Amino acid sequence: MTYPTVLAIVHRRQDARDLTRLLPADTIHLSASMCAAHRLKTIGKIKTTLAAKKPVRVVSTQLVEAGVDIDFPVVYRALAGLDAIAQSAGRCNREGTLAEGDCHIFVAESAPPKGVLSKALDVTRTMLNAHGGALDPLSPEPFEEFFRSLYHINELDQHGIQRLRESLSFESVAEEFKMIEDDWRVPVVVPCGDAAKRIDALKSAAKAAGFIPA
């Protein structure tokens, strides 16, 4: 069946690129490989097109599952953790303006990135096998089982933060705890939009102030 307006959510950035290339040229690609400004501009275009009731096809990674308020009548999601599936379903008839939305789960040839996402898929597959291939996404019971199983197989406190808290070692807690572990990251300036002009202006101001050699 062909849908004029549809969202497909896949596991990896490469999956998103590959699927976008296979679809008509006006299909919109959305992934974390795009800089923040580019993503915001693309999401704005998607929202404008949806609001105008015009056809729009979008292929995205899981970044669209949280914090992105878009509403599609049809959503396709590569089989993943039950939590990701629920988030994807939340992008289908989100505003409740349709009698019902269509959310389809398919088995992708690729797998999620290693780590929690991969383990979450394993837990979902185990649950599907145990429940005859069917889970009720509107019932809380499957999610309780899913998270119990997922937390059981994941080490959630690798740095021993709770042990440090119990011993009142708050200085060590402050040193060890990180909401987001990003020690491996480095700042990158992406030449998007008028970024080049902004960088030149910043350099000129820094030279004028004597922060960098003229």
Which two tokens mark 205?
């101001």
Task: Examine the pLDDT at 190 and tell me if it is beyond 80.
Answer: no
**Is the CB of residue 58 less than 8 Å from the CB of residue 44?**
no
Q: What is the CATH number of domain 5-194?
A: 3.40.50.300
Q: What is the pLDDT of residues 118-154, one digit of tens each?
A: 999 999 999 999 999 888 877 889 999 999 898 876 5
Which two tokens mark 182?
């990003």
Q: Where are the domains of the chain?
A: 5-194
DSSP string, 89-133: HTTBSTT--SS--EEEEE--SS-PPTTHHHHHHHHHHHHHHHTTT
Q: What is the pLDDT of residues 24-77, one digit of tens each?
A: 999 999 998 888 889 999 999 999 999 999 999 999 999 998 788 899 999 999
